[in-house]
A and B are shown apart, each in its own frame.
Chain A
Amino acid sequence: MIVQSMVRNAVLLGIFAVIGTGMVALTHENTKTRIAENLRQALLANLHELVPPDTYNNDIIKDHITVTDQAQLGTADPVPVYRARKDGTPVAAVLTPVAPDGYNGDIKLMVAIRYDGTILGVRVLAHNETPGLGDAIEISKTPWVTSFNGRSLNNPKPAKWHVKRDGGVFDQFTGATITPRAVVKAVHKCLEYYMSNRDALFSKGEHKGKPAA
């Protein structure tokens, strides 16, 4: 009697597990191409904000490699490097370094650097900074992050790659110095990483392009 009811319940649970899993599998089948396309479009939209689409003609999303350098890129995880080329000539690289020393944890950045080492643009992808203070690093809140545009390792001089309070050229925010300080540092380190690995970054991977010397 007890065995019978146990078997009955087990079978019942099994049936519901199968139906539930089946429903999830069906939804997954029907949505997976759309989800993949969404992710692609979202990434492309981010990239295009920094690298104008008419300046390159390769498949920038496919043409990427991953690199790992915790000291320079702020994360132990592999960081994708998207490479823009025009007719095989390197145009720009887009890296997504992390500023690990934000006020409230990691700040994920996207940094686009022209082949010659000047910054095309910087965007903040994700952060947990204080709303109303540290979140001024978001382009939708203030244009602060555009102050990196056109900068390079020697513009300003290395000693000036800091927020103003630390004797540099970049503004800090009222009530929030730690956040911009972390971002400035991460962008600078990312630039250093790019300049010392530039040719390897562009030549590595399956889509080989001729680096213009």
Chain B
Amino acid sequence: MTSPSYSSIIRDGLWSNNPALVQILGLCPLLAVTATVVNGFALGLATAVVLVCSNVTVSLIRGIVKPEVRIPVFVMVIASFVTAIELAMNAYFHELYKILGIFIPLIVTNCNIIARAEAFASKNTVSKSMVDGIATGLGFTLVLMLLGAMRELIGRGTLLTQASLMFGESAKWMTVTVFDHYNGYLLAILPPGAFLGLGFLIALKNVIDDRLKRRALAQQAAQAHPAGAV
């Protein structure tokens, strides 16, 4: 297997192999905590940090660990990082920690993380694994935030409520009430809203991909037959 280039790693993580939209991995937190932007952002960030740490560690030890014991070792590495991050969030973002609750320890079970460890970090250099962790983590975070924004906007008529939990009291201004006196649309906040929202996002991504592909094909055709205007 040839080592992928940095740009293709980044493109894969953010778009063409996006963990949430293409691999559909880690759905449990994706659907559960995305009722607001801030929740989605916080969990996405925590997941991304774990992903980068575990990717780097797994890549560092890839020469030492025998294939027979690699899975338990990966699990141990990931579980240690998640526990450490859970403690740190409890200490520094206590309110947010309370809201995200069980979904922080559940990052351990996010198959996306062990998938990257197994499929990428155990075969690539430390710096590439780090970039892969950042790109994949960012791709996941962006989808969480986008889904959070959609659900929050439709469900509550606001954006970035409780931003102060993440960025301190000075961030209160970030909360935007988009629709005044909005009664809320319950479906968006409840779990079905998450499924619907994710479905629309995946559909949107496929439409964009399709368009890009067609345009590329048309360009190719135009280059192949510069004279023949079809």
- B-contacting residues of A (Cβ < 8 Å)? 5, 8-9, 12-13, 16-17, 19-21, 23-24, 27-28, 31, 34-35, 38-39, 41-42, 130-133
Contacts and interface: CB of A to CB of B under 8 A. Distances in A.
Interface residues of chain A: helix, strand, loop or mixed (majority): helix
18 contacts: A5-B68, A12-B65, A13-B69, A13-B72, A19-B80, A20-B77, A20-B79, A23-B80, A23-B84, A27-B87, A31-B88, A35-B90, A35-B94, A38-B91, A39-B94, A41-B94, A42-B95, A42-B98
Given A12-B65, A13-B72, A38-B94, A31 B87 contact: yes
B184 interface: yes
Given A17-B76, A31-B91, A24 B69 contact: no
Contacts of B79: 20
Nearest to B69: A9
A109 to B, nearest CB: 17
Contact of B73 (A12, A31, A131): A12
A160 to B, nearest CB: 31
B164 interface: no
A11 to B, nearest CB: 10
Interface of B: 64-66, 68-69, 72-73, 76-77, 79-81, 83-84, 87-88, 90-92, 94-95, 98, 184, 186, 189-190
Given A16-B77, A20-B76, A42-B94, A5 B66 contact: yes
Contact of B64 (A12, A41, A42): A12
Given A20-B76, A34-B92, A28 B87 contact: yes
Nearest to B95: A42
Contacts of B81: 23
A113 B98 CA distance: 27
Nearest to B79: A20
Interface residues of chain B: helix, strand, loop or mixed (majority): helix
A125 to B, nearest CB: 11
A12 B74 CA distance: 12
B184 A132 contact: yes
A33 to B, nearest CB: 9
A4 B169 CA distance: 58
Given A24-B80, A39-B94, A131-B189, 16 more contacts: A12-B64, A16-B77, A19-B80, A20-B76, A20-B77, A23-B81, A24-B87, A27-B84, A31-B88, A31-B90, A35-B87, A42-B94, A131-B186, A132-B186, A132-B189, A133-B186
Contacts of B66: 5, 8-9, 12
A118 B83 CA distance: 44
Contacts of A24: 80, 83-84, 87
A21 B81 CA distance: 10
A196 to B, nearest CB: 34
Contacts of B95: 42
Contact of A21 (B80, B87, B98, B189): B80
Nearest to A41: B94
Nearest to B61: A16
B187 to A, nearest CB: 9
A27 B65 contact: no
